[in-house]
A and B are shown apart, each in its own frame.
Chain A
């Protein structure tokens, strides 16, 4: 980080932002009390996934796009499977759907826990890193690991492992959960449940004065599943998964030659805060019962509350998966028949950081002809940069060090994923 100070005429550069997923650098230029530009530069080396899957057989696609991002691999894999199944008109069983919901919830739990305990908590406690926690704070580290472990176990139970789960296939899972492991998973989830409340308290009191109204979008269904339902915005407008692409516009960010997204020609926000703003009524009833005081906070325009939203979702994921695991009888099933045809399909799921959109065109031999992948961080890009710009302008009376801290906290509240962003944002190459 370097700061060159003149009276409200400065450059703020933060190289290699830490405690976010992936590599990024931030550059802000202020001249005469005006923010001339904000560049959040994704430093991840692009790996050309959209180009790379062209010509590949549809069956290999979910496991390939899973490698777009380690931490949210389950979302990429599930979204691609859904898109291909829609294209090829594959009917998946109820059990497969249930297992997908479980694996997504396991991932959310693991990923949110990493973000909350390892990335955000150091900001709140004024520490450089989770490794600097003192004796009194050390229990947070333990709880973070415990929460992550519960999510890990849940995804492993269903998919075989937490990162790039190999049992998840187009149309089905190649294995059913073992009953002995189900018991163990339920126990771990129940233990993790007890730990959910302290972190919620902390995230409730973590807030900022910064507000910018925006539109939010999220998939909403009656059970807050991260998988099924229509896509709603905060004004009540809704659209099907298949058609949401018609409203998402790729736009060039003028000062950075980048690509971001607008919904109906306006900036918007996706992620845990959007899901909670739109669909908190559908949280698991046990969750709702225990968090009434936090529910009143939503809808909110305080982006710091994205952290509280994630903490609440963790409890919801635990309650929902315990209920499913206690009631579901998993049995071996026949694979669905898949007939290859020239076709096109869309998949949309809620990744931990928001809406993930896949669209594939398949040729008559089952090979990918065209692909489109829109990640949550790309969708939030415009909103995030506009926020940083406004935040800096609002705080020009503060020291540069204070501004740096505020900006970093804001970025971390968004929980951006640069590993995802780099594949699809041209923005980084400034």
Chain B
């Protein structure tokens, strides 16, 4: 049976949107499980080599070189990218340091350099093309399920 190949990723964030995804599955997992091939979801599955995906759901903003490399890799390997939550969509609230005053900025500067943080924390769209966005801080459980079901239909999974 054909399944929708998905991945769920978190960058600079509080994993609140990921928690909402896990919550949204409380009542829907039984119905949806046969249609889903969950390929990446660090919260539940040990890390493995990046695999091809139909849809990647991405939480969080981009603040380091490491983030960016992984983000690009996800884009290369996924047909669709869905940005989930305001951190991924516009950087807020994970980008607080962008607006720090000079004094605070200089205090954290050496730290940022040491760990290859970029000067600013940015939404994922600054670096890659995004196909869809689910707004909210956090996203709502309902909106995630609506989106997931849409892709299940779009990729012809149910009729296969």
Residues of chain A touching chain B, judged by Cβ–Cβ distance below 8 Å, are 15-16, 18-19, 21-23, 44-49, 51-52, 54, 64, 67-71, 73, 110, 114, 118, 128-131, 141-142, 145-146, 148-149, 152, 161-164, 419, 429
Is B2 part of the contact surface with A, judged by Cβ < 8 Å? Answer: no
Assuming A45-B117, A70-B18, A163-B19, is B26 touching A149 (CB within 8 A)? yes
Is B22 part of the contact surface with A, judged by Cβ < 8 Å? Answer: yes
Which residues from chain B contact A45 at a C-beta distance below 8 Å?
A: 11-12, 63-64, 67, 94, 117
Q: Is the CB of A52 within 8 A of B97?
A: yes
Which residues from chain B contact A67 at a C-beta distance below 8 Å?
A: 14, 16, 93-94, 137
Q: Which 8 A-B pairs have the closest CB atoms?
A: A70-B16, A52-B96, A149-B26, A45-B12, A18-B46, A70-B19, A70-B15, A16-B47
Q: Is the CB of B26 within 8 A of A47?
A: no
A376-B99 Cα distance, complex, nearest whole Å: 29
A73-B117 Cα distance, complex, nearest whole Å: 26
Residue in contact with B16 in the complex, picked from A18, A19, A54, A73, CB distance below 8 Å: A73
- Among residues of B, the one whose C-beta sits closest to the C-beta of A45 is B12
Is B130 part of the contact surface with A, judged by Cβ < 8 Å? Answer: no
Q: Is the CB of B16 within 8 A of A131?
A: no
Q: Is the CB of A48 within 8 A of B45?
A: no
Q: Is the CB of A51 within 8 A of B23?
A: no
- Among residues of A, the one whose C-beta sits closest to the C-beta of B86 is A67
Assuming A47-B97, A145-B25, A152-B26, is B45 touching A419 (CB within 8 A)? no
The contact string, 1 if C-beta is below 8 Å from chain A, for chain B 75-109, is 00000000000000000011011001000100110
A110-B20 Cα distance, complex, nearest whole Å: 11
Residue in contact with A19 in the complex, picked from B14, B25, B44, B121, CB distance below 8 Å: B44
How many residues of B are counted as interface, with CB atoms below 8 angstroms from the partner's CB atoms? 44
- Among residues of A, the one whose C-beta sits closest to the C-beta of B111 is A429
A164-B136 Cα distance, complex, nearest whole Å: 11
CB of A150 to closest CB in B, whole Å: 9
- Among residues of A, the one whose C-beta sits closest to the C-beta of B10 is A23
The contact string, 1 if C-beta is below 8 Å from chain A, for chain B 27-56, is 101100000001000111111000000000
Q: Is the CB of A129 within 8 A of B46?
A: yes
Which residues from chain A contact B47 at a C-beta distance below 8 Å?
A: 15-16, 18
Q: Is the CB of B63 within 8 A of A163?
A: no
Which residues from chain B contact A44 at a C-beta distance below 8 Å?
A: 12
Which residues from chain B contact A15 at a C-beta distance below 8 Å?
A: 47
Is B134 part of the contact surface with A, judged by Cβ < 8 Å? Answer: no
Q: Is the CB of A145 within 8 A of B29?
A: yes
Q: Is the CB of B93 within 8 A of A64?
A: yes
Which residues from chain A contact B14 at a C-beta distance below 8 Å?
A: 47, 67-70, 73, 419
Q: Is the CB of B23 within 8 A of A148?
A: yes
CB of A25 to closest CB in B, whole Å: 10
Is B138 part of the contact surface with A, judged by Cβ < 8 Å? Answer: yes
Which residues from chain B contact A162 at a C-beta distance below 8 Å?
A: 19-20, 23
Q: Is the CB of A429 within 8 A of B114?
A: yes
Is B124 part of the contact surface with A, judged by Cβ < 8 Å? Answer: no
Could you list 19 examples of A-B contacts with CB < 8 Å?
A18-B43, A19-B46, A21-B43, A45-B63, A45-B67, A48-B96, A51-B104, A51-B108, A52-B96, A67-B94, A70-B15, A70-B138, A131-B45, A148-B26, A149-B26, A149-B27, A163-B16, A163-B23, A164-B138
Assuming A70-B15, A73-B16, A164-B137, is B23 touching A128 (CB within 8 A)? no
Is B17 part of the contact surface with A, judged by Cβ < 8 Å? Answer: yes
Q: Is the CB of B96 within 8 A of A47?
A: yes
Which residues from chain A contact B107 at a C-beta distance below 8 Å?
A: 51
Residue in contact with A70 in the complex, picked from B17, B67, B97, CB distance below 8 Å: B17
A22-B45 Cα distance, complex, nearest whole Å: 13
Near A by CB (< 8 A), chain B positions 104-130 give: 104, 107-108, 111, 114-115, 117, 121
Which residues from chain B contact A19 at a C-beta distance below 8 Å?
A: 43-44, 46
Which residues from chain A contact B30 at a C-beta distance below 8 Å?
A: 142
CB of B121 to closest CB in A, whole Å: 8
- Among residues of A, the one whose C-beta sits closest to the C-beta of B12 is A45
Assuming A131-B38, A429-B114, is B23 touching A48 (CB within 8 A)? no
- Among residues of B, the one whose C-beta sits closest to the C-beta of A71 is B19
CB of A183 to closest CB in B, whole Å: 18
Q: Is the CB of B26 within 8 A of A146?
A: yes
Q: Is the CB of A129 within 8 A of B44?
A: yes
CB of B45 to closest CB in A, whole Å: 5
Q: Is the CB of B96 within 8 A of A163?
A: no
Q: Is the CB of B15 within 8 A of A21?
A: yes
Q: Is the CB of A130 within 8 A of B44?
A: yes
A51-B106 Cα distance, complex, nearest whole Å: 12
A48-B64 Cα distance, complex, nearest whole Å: 15
A67-B14 Cα distance, complex, nearest whole Å: 6
Which residues from chain A contact B140 at a C-beta distance below 8 Å?
A: 161
Q: Is the CB of B96 within 8 A of A16?
A: no
A268-B127 Cα distance, complex, nearest whole Å: 44
Which residues from chain B contact A46 at a C-beta distance below 8 Å?
A: 111
CB of A69 to closest CB in B, whole Å: 5
A71-B17 Cα distance, complex, nearest whole Å: 9
List 16 additional contacts besides A15-B47, A18-B45, A70-B16; criterion CB under 8 Å.
A16-B46, A18-B43, A21-B43, A23-B10, A45-B12, A47-B12, A51-B97, A51-B104, A52-B97, A118-B43, A130-B44, A145-B25, A148-B22, A152-B26, A419-B14, A429-B115
